[in-house]
């Protein structure tokens, strides 16, 4: 199917898509509408914010305020605070989950539009929601969903294409070297491969965080996306290197991408990662951050060398990795670098162990407590379910204790347990949980 056909088909078959288009069109009658966009602070969220901003500005002559807060779910008090000093005609929430209480924003503003690709946590009924992944697992990226809306309205141009492609890359929705794509993003990725083939060509170079199978090769789109991912950590590196001086990495990358687009570079002429970085207004700072990041990656690559096989659950080898994050990432409440390094181990552990699938559980002591990341599982052992079960058990053991939470996707999830819960208690519960699930799966097999 062609991408244009997919968008046309969705606009007819997906009620949420049609509602989002209608809700956006309703600001057409306002002369200079004002829109407030909250987006996720990762690469996909930034791609979404860029496509959304350009759509609102160019098609609706809107004034857009973009916010990329550090936490995932948007809360009512947060929006209330933003509305204390300014008023808006539209609230657009992109790549920030699907929660039923998002309907409550309608008490604050006349129009609320949600564009998201996470499994829902209660479906909002009154605001306009476009989320093809809400009810069943449809891997995609929010920046592509924004691009679909922009395409339907006839606005998306080559720079929106580029921003959406980076978002899809950031969320692991396709792999240019292995030439595979999640089904939903397939038509878009094929179109991009035709238009900008040099971004997809496999090249012999340092493997990036996105090169999970073949460690000898990468592609330009992976290299650029990795530099931008590193840039999102710029504020963490500012704490250890004063010369960086970035207050908040995600906003830094958002502004740099907008500045890049403003110069209207010919994308087909940019042939190396540095052609992109140098074309950004903060290119020099980004280069410095990227150097820190690559050094840290090497350090963590060594630390991640010692994964031990804990158990086998239904044919999936469960590995435990005990390692610290890079020094500058000690205070990060989010998966910074180590979990991505762990992902690059899945393929070699699979080969070594002979299991058809493996899962890596990263046990990472940080200044604030313990951060556990789970990766892999081959769709047989669910990372998100395990992380939320572990968090639930620890919450029951330490009632009233704040800072315990866990959940995520099928093949990538997090569990964070803040101090004063002792590290041994977290380890004990984790091991007990793996033991129980293994036991259960053996009983079921018999
Ligand atoms: Mn996303």
pLDDT confidence of residue 441: 86
Torsion of CA 35, 41, 45, 51, to 10 degrees: 50
Provide, rounded to the nearest whole percent, the portion of the chain with pLDDT above 90: 89
**How many Cβ atoms are within 10 Å of 66's Cβ, its own excluded?**
22
**How far is the C-alpha of 138 from the C-alpha of 149, rounded, in Å?**
18
**CATH 3.10.129.10 for the 304-445 domain, yes or no:** no
pLDDT confidence of residue 446: 54
**How far is the C-alpha of 248 from the C-alpha of 233, rounded, in Å?**
8
**How many Cβ atoms are within 10 Å of 243's Cβ, its own excluded?**
9
- Expressed in angstroms and rounded, the spacing between residue 312 Cα and the centre of ligand 1 is 31
For residue 81, pLDDT over 90 is answered with yes
- Expressed in angstroms and rounded, the spacing between residue 80 Cα and the centre of ligand 1 is 24
- Expressed in angstroms and rounded, the spacing between residue 167 Cα and the centre of ligand 1 is 7
- Expressed in angstroms and rounded, the spacing between residue 435 Cα and the centre of ligand 1 is 32
Provide, rounded to the nearest whole percent, the portion of the chain with pLDDT above 70: 100
- Expressed in angstroms and rounded, the spacing between residue 445 Cα and the centre of ligand 1 is 36
Distances (CA, A) of 274 to 116, 220, 287: 31, 10, 8
- Expressed in angstroms and rounded, the spacing between residue 73 Cα and the centre of ligand 1 is 13
Instruction: Please compute the mean of the pLDDT values over residues 296-305 and round it to a whole number.
Output: 92
Neighbours of ion ligand 1 (CB under 5 A): 44, 95, 142, 171
- Expressed in angstroms and rounded, the spacing between residue 143 Cα and the centre of ligand 1 is 7
pLDDT tens per residue across span 319-341: 999 999 999 998 888 889 999 99
- Expressed in angstroms and rounded, the spacing between residue 442 Cα and the centre of ligand 1 is 35
Query: What does the DSSP 8-state code read for residue 121?
Result: B
3-state secondary structure of 294: helix
- Expressed in angstroms and rounded, the spacing between residue 44 Cα and the centre of ligand 1 is 5
pLDDT confidence of residue 379: 87
3-state secondary structure of 381: coil
Q: How far is CA 232 from the centre of its chain?
A: 11
Look at strands 180-181 and 174-175 and give their pairing: antiparallel
pLDDT confidence of residue 121: 87
pLDDT tens per residue across span 214-263: 889 999 999 999 999 999 999 999 999 999 999 999 999 999 999 999 99
- Cβ atoms of 235 and 192 within 8 Å: the answer is no
- Expressed in angstroms and rounded, the spacing between residue 117 Cα and the centre of ligand 1 is 7
pLDDT tens per residue across span 155-211: 999 999 999 999 999 999 999 999 999 999 999 999 999 999 999 999 999 999 999
- Expressed in angstroms and rounded, the spacing between residue 170 Cα and the centre of ligand 1 is 8
pLDDT tens per residue across span 131-153: 999 888 888 999 999 999 999 99
Query: What does the DSSP 8-state code read for residue 359?
Result: E
pLDDT tens per residue across span 14-55: 999 999 999 999 999 999 999 999 999 999 999 999 999 999
pTM of the model: 0.93
Average confidence score pLDDT of the chain:
95
pLDDT confidence of residue 397: 97
**How far is the C-alpha of 109 from the C-alpha of 87, rounded, in Å?**
8
pLDDT confidence of residue 409: 81
- Expressed in angstroms and rounded, the spacing between residue 133 Cα and the centre of ligand 1 is 11
3-state secondary structure of 345: coil
Going from N- to C-terminal start, the domains of the chain cover 3-193, 196-302, 304-445
Model confidence at 57, pLDDT cuts 50, 70, 90, reads very high
- Expressed in angstroms and rounded, the spacing between residue 397 Cα and the centre of ligand 1 is 32
**How many Cβ atoms are within 10 Å of 271's Cβ, its own excluded?**
11
- Expressed in angstroms and rounded, the spacing between residue 171 Cα and the centre of ligand 1 is 6
Q: What are the residues whose beta carbons fall under 8 Å from the beta carbon of 375, sequence distance 6 or more?
A: 339, 342, 343, 346, 359, 360, 362, 383, 411, 412
- Expressed in angstroms and rounded, the spacing between residue 305 Cα and the centre of ligand 1 is 29
Model confidence at 306, pLDDT cuts 50, 70, 90, reads confident
**How many Cβ atoms are within 10 Å of 375's Cβ, its own excluded?**
26
- Expressed in angstroms and rounded, the spacing between residue 354 Cα and the centre of ligand 1 is 32
- CATH level 3 topology of 3-193: inorganic pyrophosphatase (n-terminal core) (3.90.1640)
- Expressed in angstroms and rounded, the spacing between residue 137 Cα and the centre of ligand 1 is 13
Residue 393 zone, left/alpha/beta (φ > 0; ψ -120 to 50; rest): alpha
Length of the chain: 446
């Amino acid at each position: 199917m062609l991408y244009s056909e997919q968008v046309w088909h969705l606009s007819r078959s997906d009620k949420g898509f049609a509602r989002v288009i209608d809700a956006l069109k309703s600001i057409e009658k306002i002369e200079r509408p004002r829109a407030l966009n909250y987006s996720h602070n990762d690469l996909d969220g930034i791609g979404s914010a860029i496509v959304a901003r350009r759509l609102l500005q160019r098609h609706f002559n809107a004034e857009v305020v973009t916010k990329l807060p550090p936490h995932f779910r948007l809360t009512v008090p947060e929006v209330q605070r933003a509305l204390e000093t300014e008023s808006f005609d539209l609230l657009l929430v992109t790549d920030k989950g699907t929660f039923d209480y998002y309907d409550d924003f309608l008490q604050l503003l006349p129009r609320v539009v949600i564009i998201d690709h996470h499994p829902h946590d209660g479906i909002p009924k009154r605001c306009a929601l476009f989320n093809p992944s809400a009810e069943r697992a449809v891997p995609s990226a929010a920046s592509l969903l924004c691009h679909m809306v922009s395409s339907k309205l006839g606005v998306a141009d080559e720079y929106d294409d580029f921003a959406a492609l980076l978002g899809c890359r950031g969320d692991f929705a396709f792999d240019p070297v292995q030439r595979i794509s999640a089904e939903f993003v397939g038509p878009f990725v094929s179109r991009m491969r035709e238009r900008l083939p040099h971004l997809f060509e496999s090249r012999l170079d340092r493997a990036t965080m996105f090169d999970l199978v073949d460690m000898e090769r990468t592609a330009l789109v992976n290299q650029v996306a990795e530099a931008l991912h590193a840039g999102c950590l710029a504020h963490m590196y500012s704490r250890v290197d004063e010369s960086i001086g970035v207050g908040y990495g995600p906003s830094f990358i958002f502004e740099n991408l907008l500045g890049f687009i403003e110069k209207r570079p010919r994308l087909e002429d940019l042939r190396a990662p540095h052609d992109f970085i140098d074309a950004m207004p903060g290119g020099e700072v980004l280069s410095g951050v990227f150097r820190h990041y690559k050094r840290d990656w090497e350090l963590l690559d060594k630390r991640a060398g010692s994964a031990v096989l804990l158990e086998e659950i239904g044919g999936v080898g469960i590995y435990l990795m005990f390692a610290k994050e890079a020094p500058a990432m000690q205070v990060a409440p989010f998966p910074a670098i180590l979990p991505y390094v762990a992902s690059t181990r899945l393929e070699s552990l699979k080969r070594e162990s002979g299991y058809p699938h493996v899962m890596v559980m990263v046990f990472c002591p940080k200044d604030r407590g313990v951060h556990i990341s789970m990766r892999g599982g081959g769709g047989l052992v669910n990372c998100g379910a395990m992380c939320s079960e572990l968090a639930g058990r620890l919450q029951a053991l330490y009632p009233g204790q704040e800072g315990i939470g866990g959940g995520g996707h099928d093949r990538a999830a997090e569990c964070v347990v803040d101090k004063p819960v002792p590290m041994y208690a977290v380890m004990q519960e984790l091991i007990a949980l793996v033991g129980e699930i293994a036991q259960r799966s053996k009983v079921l097999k018999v």
